[in-house]
A and B are shown apart, each in its own frame.
Chain A
Amino acid sequence: MSINENDVILQVQDLKKHFMPHQGLLQSLGTKTKKVIKAVDGISFGIRRGEIFGLIGESGSGKTTTGKLVMKLIEPTSGKIVFNGEDVTITDRGRTKAYRRQVQMIFQDPYASMNPRFKIRDVLGEPLIIHKIEGDRLRHEEMIIKSLTEVKLNPPSDFMGRYPHMLSGGQRQRVATARTLILNPMMLVADEPVSMIDLSTRAEILHMMKDVQRDLGLTYLYITHDLSTARYFTDRIAVMYLGRIVEMGRADDVIDNPIHPYTRALIDAVPEPETGMVDIIKELPISGEIPSPANIPPGCRFHTRCPYAKPVCSEQTEPELSDVGNGHFHACRRWKEL
């Protein structure tokens, strides 16, 4: 399926999510921050119909919060979400429920998301009941079989009577995916945690997700901090840092020709299966860890860790995303000099 640049299914406009600091427990343990936590601090992007859009960045950069905003699991502090031409930023309960059928979340920890006492048939039947999908038992059974076929668990009858623990990690993930597909969503949001899942199983899962996406013409928002996977799996990526997007473009452009110093640092840090590294202490272009979103540095928020930072970077206003042509955006003032 070819992607039409102008056919945007999800548009996010200057979206923000600011959390009030925790009260109680943390304070009694001695934390005194009273500042708001700017988890997502003004991001805009559009995802095209049939596209796999990746969101990457370090831990704490605001990826999951963005995913939750898109899923409408939390309310934005400000900004706008337009889905399929409709402003869905604020919706009533009925519309929200319908929205969550169209935009489904894939849980990346299928252990946690499946009732161990349910057979696979019931795991898949449950969303049909929750969403009061019309049809009798037989019709529901057909839908279950169809979704198992879509994720290549063949023959479906072999799997329907099993319990989750009787499946391998890869198979369990297929069931979790089938569970979201059964409601015929238009878009899937997958938030991959820093995972213990091994590479072969992950490759298997990504293959399956890509096949499903192609077969059904779905759109994905794929959240990860693994650039290598993003490169293989996504069409476009947005790199987040401390609640903002600092670079965005076609996955190949961003990874082969990164512009923003933060993206460059991320790429440098990724290990490759090559020889000759064992006795080498890798030069890391940036040091330290991501600052607290309760204390965002002024100007370019990356300036405290940026190897190229000059006074202008902290003195002037925050750089906005700008296009270098071919839809490759970055937010770095000094990009021409790097």
Chain B
Amino acid sequence: MDKILEVKNLRLYYHTNKGAVKALDDVSFDLYKGETLGLVGESGCGKTTTGVALLRMPSPPGRIEEGSQIFLDGRDIMGLSEKQIRKDVRWEEVSMVFQGAMNCLTPVYTIGKQMLETLQEHREMEKKQAEKLIKEYLGLVGLPPEVMNRYPHELSGGMKQRIVIATALFLKPKLVVLDEPTTALDVIVQAQIINLLKKLKKTFDLSFIFITHDLSLEAEVSDRVCVMYAGKIAELGTNQQIYGKQGPMHPYTEKLLLATPLLKKKVETLSFIPGAPPDLIDPPSGCRFHPRCHKVMDKCKEEIPPLLELEPGHMVACWRCVK
């Protein structure tokens, strides 16, 4: 299968006046065409940061560090100027549905006006033609054309999220980063949006990066799952390798799954991972998870565990798993 994306040794630091927040440290992964790759992990582990890095738009004071490589459809985008990125990468090839975007629609403009502006920023187009396109996209996400005349407050959460998704697809990108696209919605609407995303993916032959902290939801959408902890990849495997009978390999993934409440199976206790993710200005030595790990050994405290392929397609960064 062809790769749409190759990320190698990606480092993104936020240079705050307290020091550099090492939000992504040596992150490498690939994404195949037509594939959905999930990014999961606790709050603050670097999921959103990974997403914005792919659009080359870190929020200040963030910077993609020297030596990071991102290949999009075979093309090295780290070498491109900001102008080139804007012209033919950002929104054109890669787009992103931002965390909480549906609450950021401008309250005083109609949906039609907001969508029109976005479109005309990128495409020279007659108003009539643009409106026709907008209606077409609204239809694709299951909304009637009248929605154009409505204001955000007149729409439900699910409708707003559909609009945000339609806008992200306008310019026909190949890769879409979806950052917690259903977190603010209830289960029924969430399931509707997930179905919609699956259909759109087929229609447009898209590749997705699907970010969420909900491991159950990730299991329903992602072909492969990348578990992040404190700015690093802890484990990356196929849906089967993470959720299958054998279970995940990394102690962090194991614990995350045990903290996931199940509906159809009654669990007596729900476990959790004591403590909190570390300060990324001065992260723990060795394995960044070692202060919270139930399987910690002496070596873990000193040496950084490498991300190794322990079975075909299954990468794990844990000393316990190195035989």
Contact = CB atoms under 8 A, between A and B. Distances in A.
The reply to whether chain A is a binding partner of chain B is: yes
A6 interface: no
Interface in A65-86: none
Interface in B272-323: 272-276
Which residue, of B223, B273, B274, has the highest number of chain A Cβ atoms within 10 A? B273
A288 to B, nearest CB: 9
Contacts of A200: 42, 255-256, 259, 272-273
Interface string A178-205: 0000000000000000101111111110
A255 B263 contact: yes
Contacts of A207: 269-270, 272
Given A199-B214, A199-B259, A269 B188 contact: yes
A277 B219 contact: yes
Contacts of B187: 58, 225-227, 266, 269-270
A32 to B, nearest CB: 11
A116 B55 CA distance: 34
Given A269-B188, A273-B215, A275-B239, A231 B266 contact: yes
Given A29-B151, A228-B262, A271-B216, A58 B188 contact: yes
Interface stretch (A138-146, A214-222, A278-286, A294-302): A278-286
Closest A-B pairs by Cβ, 8 of them: A168-B276, A228-B261, A203-B272, A204-B272, A269-B191, A198-B213, A200-B259, A269-B187
B219 A275 contact: yes
A273 B263 contact: no
Contacts of A227: 187, 263
Interface of B: 36, 42-43, 108, 151, 153-154, 156-159, 180, 183-192, 194-195, 198-199, 213-223, 239-240, 243-244, 255-257, 259-264, 266-267, 269-276
Contacts of A286: 188
Contact of B220 (A196, A201, A271): A271
Given A58-B186, A194-B185, A228-B261, A203 B239 contact: no
Contact of A272 (B185, B223, B255, B263): B263
27 contacts: A29-B151, A29-B154, A30-B154, A59-B189, A171-B276, A196-B213, A198-B43, A198-B213, A200-B272, A201-B272, A203-B272, A204-B273, A228-B262, A228-B263, A232-B267, A255-B264, A269-B187, A269-B191, A270-B187, A271-B194, A273-B215, A273-B262, A275-B243, A278-B221, A278-B239, A279-B198, A289-B189
A289 B158 contact: yes
A111 to B, nearest CB: 12
Contact of B180 (A31, A196, A265, A269): A196
A270 B156 CA distance: 20
B188 A265 contact: yes
Contacts, number: 156
A92 interface: no
A59 B264 CA distance: 22
Contact of A289 (B156, B194, B199, B217): B156
A306 interface: no
A30 B151 contact: yes
Nearest to A61: B186
A274 B270 contact: no
Interface in A204-247: 204, 206-207, 225-229, 231-232
Interface of A: 26, 29-31, 58-60, 168-171, 194, 196-204, 206-207, 225-229, 231-232, 252, 255, 265-267, 269-275, 277-279, 281-282, 284, 286-287, 289-290
B215 A284 contact: no
A16 to B, nearest CB: 23
Given A168-B275, A200-B272, A275-B243, A282 B194 contact: yes
Given A266-B187, A269-B190, A281 B198 contact: yes
Contacts of B239: 275, 278
A170 B272 CA distance: 11
Contact of B43 (A29, A58, A169): A169
B274 A204 contact: yes
B153 A275 contact: no
A108 to B, nearest CB: 14
Contact of A199 (B184, B240, B260): B260
A257 to B, nearest CB: 12
Given A203-B271, A266-B187, A284-B195, A275 B244 contact: yes
Nearest to B99: A196
Given A194-B185, A201-B272, 6 more contacts: A171-B276, A199-B214, A271-B214, A274-B219, A278-B223, A281-B199
A212 to B, nearest CB: 16
A291 to B, nearest CB: 10
Nearest to A292: B156
A274 B243 contact: yes
Nearest to B241: A275
Which residue, of B185, B219, B270, B273, has the highest number of chain A Cβ atoms within 10 A? B270
A271 B190 CA distance: 10
Contact of A169 (B223, B269, B276): B276
A117 B312 CA distance: 52
A309 B157 CA distance: 26
A282 B261 contact: no
A199 B273 CA distance: 10
Contacts of B190: 269, 271
A269 B187 CA distance: 6
A225 B240 contact: no
Contacts of A225: 186-187
Contacts of B274: 204
A232 to B, nearest CB: 5
Contact of B270 (A203, A226, A255, A266): A203
Nearest to A197: B43
